[in-house]
Structure 1
């Protein structure tokens, strides 16, 4: 008789067989796997066929030597001369030229025809790539040209031709370039964070903006915000308007240098580091300097004065200025470029004021009259209307009024202003409108500021100590420079420092070397510090100083 264990064996076997069936692949899974395998095999065959067709097309491409990436430095050598796009406005028909330029736009019109827009700085020209021709351009070449990523740099050789109709979409309208060969020097990424063509349109003028994403205008086109532009400054800086803005900035610096050289100033390069927080200690950036502290200078003010004490009668410099002020306005930066000068006074401090006025008139009139600067201003005016509408009086002298006269003008216009209070920004702007209407000028100076609103080293008016021998310069109702006669007497300077609010110690480590310069005798002198970024901003009427600064620094921006 079978035991109980023997009788359980068949049932266990059936149970194990049943469990094994559960772990085996289902028919659906097997079918799915077979389909995936078949699909992969077809994809591999298709890829192999496409590769064969590509290789065959390349083998049959009679123009393959006329286009493609430049592989090595030797490939980049060019035996004939290069032509800049700026030189093609007055080109000759059928002139053969070679240009290095960016692809501003590329599109395939058909299998036989592609159009490119080449850009170099602010200049653009249409380029035509057509099948056939004396060089035997192939369809493969046409397709390749139409697929070049925007912003890539190419070397193109071709013939200058007059189009049937003017090309209105490029700066060079009367000529186009018929491509004979084109090589890729540097390929740009296919996906760009912002498009240069979008940055060419006017940005939002009144932007309370922390957004990085472009908005759409009424026509459905992207409007790139100020933050998005600054976050992608390299791309934004390629626009024609920005190219013109920064060329004008360079022009202002060169005009400053020209005028200083004509008037026998010595160029100096003072330090931007100080061992103590000077000029009162407010608004300075503290940095680590080896095992001690140092500070970025607020201005070259003390160094200019010390140079005068060295018997350098006229000094100037261009350099960075640092202000640790948490000011988030359209005209403030934590770092800007200063145009500074200081000079000995022979008889009266108005010598310095008159010199500064002549300097600014020289800069502004040359910006308005020199052909290159006029052309650049017109380029900016296309994006920022009113850039060329800066007014100056016909006289050789600048419009000048005292602080008391400025207050009177404001009060007469119904704008309350105090005789011994500094002007606020709204008051300054209102005065700018009054000066434009009354004197037809956007540049003017204000003299004799109250002593209470000027730094301790400012010379008080001997006839009325409540006012000082100091002045500010304005463009479009906004300050671009502060200047003054400086106190050159050691005892008077120390007294003013001790009477300052808060009091300053002239013998402290932060001031000792500065005050010693006057202890050893120093000639009467004065000067001023102009803000390059502000001059550019207000001359062009730009809505924000960041448009006039290549890589702006403000309380919320430390990159790029």
Structure 2
């Protein structure tokens, strides 16, 4: 803008030199210079020209503005490749320098989700987002800027102030680049397909590249917005007709996560955690943190990750179980924790991970372990209601890509005894005994039977056989082959396993030996109950599985941001 400022001014050579130095400082602080202004090109000016006091004040104000440390509201001159020099058109577009937080002040950007508000129509604004797509059409360039689930159409029109070179520059920006756009918000005469909001567009005057993407992407966002195996989906509105399979998606997760459906999934998942924590906090629970490296397998068995620990070895915790119970023995009364859980299960199924987020509960009770079961059931109902109430838009976005039936649940939650579930399967033709463990196919089939009979996707099975439960599970008082234990199910798949815990050290030792657990390695755990401990119960919930089943998704890797399974340790 310096040329515009002094083209009609009169000043001395000394003043001109000061102004030129200020311009140079501003340029080098603010832009990438690929065109050098040669001194031979600077016009000759008279050695002495008188200025009025008003003109001098105007000049000084301009110089002060150019030398300020604050970033101007409108971005500075950007010199682009080519022979354009400092022509006015080249200041409206180009590459910005590496952003190193050089300035504390700058343009006031408007979030894409807010642009459609009435107050912005016919107003000039700045936005920042990703270049989703662009196309040239005669003297027009249309391009869509995207951020999260919001996509806004922008229009460039060739004119005296907007040359075709600017249109070509914008059309050549690689997809997924981060760009800044300045322009006027206008009501669109028609609905704009594929945009959200679809009633407005921005008539652009400036476009700058903040961070350029590579020209060739490992996967196209438009393709990632389609399910990899849904042949029935209407794909007529997508530009590219190519399916992206799960491994490709996961290998390039940092790109695939940009899609609207992934943005929605992880907001819903964050909601699950929030409703879980809020409900329990209001119910008097204390949020605790437990060790993830332990001296013995917390669940017994061989499905543990062994790691070196100085001169010895340790294990990654399969659950925070032992430490939740110690907290109850320490009179915390009600505790919960949210954290990583590790399972060395060589299981490449749709619902297993080697690392997942566990949401665990432990609670002392006065009379019966059903006090705990009822509280957990109420917590889940509160969570489901909250998700349906506060995340309706996200759920709708997810269902547009991954078709599913709305999640259904009852109040109060349906609770059946384990033997009742076995009987329902027998009546449907399954050959099962009362003490047999349920396989995954049997669980899913039972879920369908319960949905048909009771109209719910969410239910509890109570009183499991003792021998198929963890060593710390309390036996039933009168039916010795059964236990005070329970599982919660969603759409026929288990999402929480729980039980009343053994708080008697002698019985706990007996059950640990029965399960092959080395007593010496859990000595501190058993000792915690030698000095008195109230009756208590709890359970462990898999966050990714809850999210997957609530949304009706087909694979837990869709609800784990960076999943870990037997075949995947990156990214």
Pairwise same-fold verdict (TM > 0.5)? yes
2:534 to 523, 529, 534: 523
Change (3 A) 1:75 1:162: farther
TM-score (norm 1): 0.84
Instruction: Provide the rounded CA distance (Å) in 1 between the counterparts of 2:107 and 2:396.
Output: 34
Question: Is the counterpart of residue 465 in structure 1 residue 480 in structure 2?
Answer: yes
TM-score (norm 2): 0.82
Instruction: Provide the rounded CA distance (Å) in 2 between the counterparts of 1:455 and 1:530.
Output: 15
- The residue aligned with 2:348 is 328
Preserved contact between residue 298 and residue 319 of structure 2 (Cα < 8 Å): no
Deviations 1:37-63 (A, max 9, x none): xxxxxxxxxxxxxxxxx9775138532
1:65 to 80, 91, 94: 91
Q: 1:200 deviation in Å?
A: 0.5
Preserved contact between residue 70 and residue 76 of structure 1 (Cα < 8 Å): no
- The residue aligned with 1:209 is none
Change (3 A) 1:196 1:76: farther
Question: Is the counterpart of residue 94 in structure 1 residue 122 in structure 2?
Answer: yes
Instruction: Provide the rounded CA distance (Å) in 1 between the counterparts of 2:259 and 2:541.
Output: 27
Preserved contact between residue 204 and residue 226 of structure 1 (Cα < 8 Å): no
Change (3 A) 1:376 1:220: closer
| Greater C-alpha Rg | 1
Preserved contact between residue 458 and residue 469 of structure 1 (Cα < 8 Å): yes
Q: 1:416 deviation in Å?
A: 2.7
- The residue aligned with 2:407 is 390
Query: What is the SS of the residue equivalent to 1:466?
Result: coil
Question: Is the counterpart of residue 497 in structure 1 residue 523 in structure 2?
Answer: no
Preserved contact between residue 107 and residue 146 of structure 1 (Cα < 8 Å): yes
Preserved contact between residue 484 and residue 526 of structure 1 (Cα < 8 Å): yes
Deviates more, 1:276-285 or 1:520-529: 276-285
Q: Give the gaps of 5 or more residues in structure 2.
A: 1-79, 232-237
- The residue aligned with 1:537 is 548
2:269 to 242, 249, 260: 249
Preserved contact between residue 460 and residue 468 of structure 1 (Cα < 8 Å): yes
- The residue aligned with 1:277 is 297
Preserved contact between residue 297 and residue 318 of structure 2 (Cα < 8 Å): no
1:181 to 192, 206, 217: 206
Q: Give the gaps of 5 or more residues in structure 1.
A: 1-53, 207-217
Question: Is the counterpart of residue 424 in structure 1 residue 424 in structure 2?
Answer: no
Q: 1:360 deviation in Å?
A: 0.8
Instruction: Provide the rounded CA distance (Å) in 2 between the counterparts of 1:451 and 1:130.
Output: 74
Instruction: Provide the rounded CA distance (Å) in 2 between the counterparts of 1:126 and 1:95.
Output: 16
Moved over 4 A (4+): 54-57, 72-78
Q: 1:325 deviation in Å?
A: 0.5
Question: Is the counterpart of residue 451 in structure 1 residue 477 in structure 2?
Answer: no
Query: What is the SS of the residue equivalent to 2:129?
Result: strand
Q: 1:422 deviation in Å?
A: 1.1
- The residue aligned with 1:511 is 522
- The residue aligned with 2:141 is 114
Instruction: Provide the rounded CA distance (Å) in 2 between the counterparts of 1:256 and 1:540.
Output: 17
- The residue aligned with 2:65 is none
Q: 1:329 deviation in Å?
A: 0.3
- The residue aligned with 2:396 is 378
Change (3 A) 1:171 1:104: same
Change (3 A) 1:76 1:436: farther
> Number of paired residues?
485
Change (3 A) 1:56 1:342: closer
Query: What is the SS of the residue equivalent to 2:482?
Result: strand
- The residue aligned with 1:557 is 568
1:286 to 279, 285, 306: 306
Instruction: Provide the rounded CA distance (Å) in 2 between the counterparts of 1:356 and 1:278.
Output: 22
Q: CA RMSD of the aligned region, Å?
A: 2.0
Change (3 A) 1:548 1:55: closer
Q: 1:90 deviation in Å?
A: 2.8
Change (3 A) 1:365 1:416: farther
Change (3 A) 1:56 1:525: closer
- The residue aligned with 2:33 is none
Q: 1:290 deviation in Å?
A: 2.3
Preserved contact between residue 107 and residue 147 of structure 1 (Cα < 8 Å): no
Question: Is the counterpart of residue 410 in structure 1 residue 425 in structure 2?
Answer: yes
